[in-house]
């Protein structure tokens, strides 16, 4: 039996990614479907649902869930499950009018020109974009990157369950270091971690962040660090470079970083970060931000890049 907390809102992960055999059939079937273009953010959200990081979602949100998510961080379709940011798919008015309720469509990544999945459209609705921004980001300032993405969406949202057919370029381009939630949880189990701290950063990690991780190691079995990367790094969709930190064999919680000298090292220049490495083991990976491996209360925390 697993020592870890269950994924958010579900007793187990709910990945929507098809296996290889299922993909072949669905790709052939999708050839005759209308294409709905995806933005980088929408493609990232689809991949998150594909690998189970957005468990228990089964597709893009309808209006009731969108409205409650904005107003009170809840999903009525899932017994008011806590969820802080809407996961939606937008389209132009012309495209939305051409799609019937119950029709299946192909979801197409405009950046990589790749079929990412299919969706059965169960709902079409318009939203107040400024309202979403003020509720979710607490601002409608166009300089805010989240506001920019919402305001640049199409005027109509399409909702419905999805079938995910691709993880894009991540498994190949980052082979050996790309990691899914299931793989992360397996790694926690292998290390016998039960109490895991999660640290997600939007900027390159510096000494104060390293100090936070160091403090967390003292009270937890390990630390899982999500270091976000975005378009400015030339990687397209948002990624997170993750680092696993834990104690060396034989060390007790109270012994890790127990002297003031090691703690003070975190206040020096970047080269002194080696002091952190001298008493912790590391494993670097590149992965999508994962909502299922965070400790209780942080399961759905994420950053959009």
DSSP state of 248: P
Peptide bond into 81 cis (omega under 30): no
pLDDT in tens, 72-123: 999 999 999 999 999 999 999 999 999 999 999 999 999 999 999 999 999 9
Which of 202, 207, 263, 304 is catalytic? The answer is 202
Q: Are 90 and 157 in contact (CB under 8 A)?
A: yes
Distance CA 234, CA 241 (A): 14
Distance CA 284, CA 201 (A): 15
Q: What pLDDT was estimated at residue 47?
A: 94
Q: What pLDDT was estimated at residue 289?
A: 35
Going residue by residue through the chain, which has 305 residues, state the pLDDT in tens, using 9 for 90 and above. 678 889 999 999 999 999 999 999 999 999 999 999 999 999 999 999 999 999 999 999 999 999 999 999 999 999 999 999 999 999 999 999 999 999 999 999 999 999 999 999 999 999 999 999 999 999 999 999 899 999 999 999 999 999 999 999 888 887 777 788 999 899 999 999 999 998 887 777 888 988 988 899 889 999 887 766 555 444 444 444 455 665 433 333 333 333 323 323 333 333 333 333 322 333 333 333 333 333 333 333 333 33
Domains (ranges, CATH) in the chain?
20-166 (3.10.400.10), 171-287 (no CATH)
| Strand ranges in the chain using DSSP code E only, listed in sequence order | 34-38, 59-60, 74-75, 81-82, 89-91, 104-109, 114-120, 123-126, 156-164, 178-179, 196-201, 222-229, 239-247, 280-287
Which of 19, 28, 203, 232 is catalytic? The answer is 203
72 in catalytic set: no
231 in catalytic set: no
Q: What pLDDT was estimated at residue 205?
A: 80
Nearest to 17 by CA among 182, 160, 172, 158: 182
């Amino acid at each position: 039996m697993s020592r870890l907390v269950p994924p958010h809102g579900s007793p187990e992960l709910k990945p929507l990614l098809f296996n290889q055999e299922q993909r072949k059939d669905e790709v052939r079937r999708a050839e005759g479907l209308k294409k709905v273009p995806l933005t980088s953010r929408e493609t990232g959200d689809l991949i998150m649902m594909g690998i189970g990081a957005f468990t228990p979602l089964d597709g893009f949100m309808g209006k009731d869930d969108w409205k409650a998510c904005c107003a009170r961080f809840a999903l009525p379709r899932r017994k008011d499950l806590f969820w802080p940011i809407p996961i939606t798919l937008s389209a132009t008015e012309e495209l939305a009018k051409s799609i019937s309720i119950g029709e299946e469509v192909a979801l197409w990544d405009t950046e990589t020109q790749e079929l990412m999945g299919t969706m059965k459209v169960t709902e079409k609705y318009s939203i107040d974009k400024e309202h979403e921004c003020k509720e979710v980001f607490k601002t409608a300032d166009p300089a805010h990157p989240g506001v920019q993405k919402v305001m640049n969406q199409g005027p109509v949202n399409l909702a419905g369950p999805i079938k995910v057919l691709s993880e894009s370029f991540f498994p190949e381009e980052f082979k050996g270091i790309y990691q899914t939630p299931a793989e992360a949880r397996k790694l926690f189990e292998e290390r016998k971690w039960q109490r895991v701290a999660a640290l997600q950063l939007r900027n390159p990690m510096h000494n104060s962040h390293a100090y936070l991780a160091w403090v967390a190691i003292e009270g937890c079995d390990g630390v899982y660090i999500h270091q976000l990367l975005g378009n400015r790094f030339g990687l397209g969709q948002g990624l997170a470079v993750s680092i696993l930190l834990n104690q060396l064999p034989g060390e007790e919680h109270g012994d890790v970083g127990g002297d003031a000298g090691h703690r003070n090292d975190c206040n020096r220049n970047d080269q002194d970060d080696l002091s952190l490495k001298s008493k912790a083991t590391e494993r670097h990976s590149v992965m999508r931000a994962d909502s299922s491996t965070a400790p209780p209360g942080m399961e759905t925390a994420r950053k959009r890049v």
